[in-house]
Structures are given as C-alpha cells and as structure tokens.
Chains A and B, each alone.
Chain A
Amino acid sequence: GAVVSQHPSWVICKSGTSVKIECRSLDFQATTMFWYRQFPKQSLMLMATSNEGSKATYEQGVEKDKFLINHASLTLSTLTVTSAHPEDSSFYICSATQNRNSPLHFGNGTRLTVT
C-alpha cells in the first residue's frame, strides 16, 4: 500500500532556532500534500496544502512566514518551523494522496518540543 514517510519522528530544539520536517511519499507521486498540527488530546488541524511546484495554500490563522512549506518534487514536501517558540511545541503530521479517488495516507508524525 501507499507509504508516507515523515522525518524526524521527534525533535527537541531551543527557542529561536528553526526546524525542518520532511514528508516523503515512498511509492507514489503526490502532487498534493497536507500539513496538520495536533495539540495533546485534540484533533488534527489543517495548517496548509502543499502543491508541487507552486506556493502552499495556508489555512486562516496560520502564519506562512513562520511555517515555511516547500514542495520541490512529486515525492517530497518540507515544513520549516522558523524561529521556534515553546508554543510551537506540538505534533506535526503530513499526509499525501495519489489522486482524488484514493484515501489520504499519513506519515507517522513529528513531535516537536521547543525548550
């Protein structure tokens, strides 16, 4: 089945630094990937839609300059949390789909802790 790999699975960084999270579709091409954020005991909130070769579409309230998304190829999207602060600590999870008739497949998520 379709596999989405996310790396790293967890990261601890100091306040003010930037962190890059990678999302790869391993056995299919994903023209569209999605980035979600999940706080403890809460649901997944869509942050942005990442489109290969074009700018990401951000959901209302998500700072595009803070959460930089790059979708350079059909198998890779990256999320960079710039100048991270403790309130950015969360579980970030990406997803990808092959086409409109296929379900979304999720990566295993990245737990970010900003100290």
Chain B
Amino acid sequence: AQKITQTQPGMFVQEKEAVTLDCTYDTSDPSYGLFWYKQPSSGEMIFLIYQGSYDQQNATEGRYSLNFQKARKSANLVISASQLGDSAMYFCAMSAMDSSYKLIFGSGTRLLVRP
C-alpha cells in the first residue's frame, strides 16, 4: 500500500526567505509520481510541481523546487523567496503509474508567510 507522510502541520516563514516543506512516502511500486499542490483558503487545488520516480534531476518550476531523495523516500518542496500569497495549505501526493493514476494525499502543511 502507498502512504504519504507530512510531519509538519504548520510552518512559518519570513517574507523573501526560503522554506522547505517535508514529505516522505512509502510504496512498493517501482514506478510512481510525486506531486505538490497548493490549496488556498478558497479551496481550489493548484498544481505546483511534479517528479517522476525515474527522473534523474530534481524538478523545478519557478520558485518551486522538489528535493527528491529516492533512497530516503523523501520529496521535499522548497519555496524560494517566499511571498505573502504563498500562505496556504500545501499537500504532497503520490500516484502509482498504473492505469488508474489516482493520487494519494498527505495530511498537509499550513504555511504562513510573515511580512
């Protein structure tokens, strides 16, 4: 069975600084995908970044980068130069690369950016 763990229920970061949100996973599938989504208070789920299990390089998307350490089964999200608008819930998720492609989510981390 697959499992996603986010151990930080809440995080604070000063505006313009970088922050790392932790995510560890467990799976027996050899092929899988790792995702990060942002959920503002309005509720929508905003896709941030994706890392495939066979990708050699860490994924980056603008201010977001994913620190993928396969041996440790971790996929931490790094947000650089935090902005006030980054305050939201952040969910790590994993999919198995089977035909269903469904996502299993972690419990989330609430990030608050301080001015």
Number of A-B contacts (CB under 8 A): 53
B100–A32 touching, CB < 8 Å: yes
A22 to B80, CA, bound (A): 37
Q: Which of A36, A100, A108 has the most CB of B within 10 A?
A: A100
Interface footprint category on B:
20 to 34
Across-interface contacts of A49 in B (CB, < 8 A):
100, 102
Contact with A along B39-51 (1 / 0, CB 8 A): 0001111010010
A29 to B97, CA, bound (A): 19
Query: How many residues of chain A are within 8 Å of chain B by beta carbon?
Result: 23
Across-interface contacts of B108 in A (CB, < 8 A):
42-43
Q: How far is the CB of B32 from chain A (nearest CB, A)?
A: 12
9-residue interface stretch from A11-19, A62-70, A74-82, A89-97: A89-97
- Show the binding face of A for B, using Cβ within 8 Å: 32, 34, 36, 42-46, 49, 57, 91, 93, 95, 97, 100, 103-109, 111
CB-CB nearest 10 A-B residue pairs: A106-B45, A109-B43, A108-B44, A44-B105, A43-B105, A103-B47, A43-B107, A43-B108, A103-B50, A100-B101
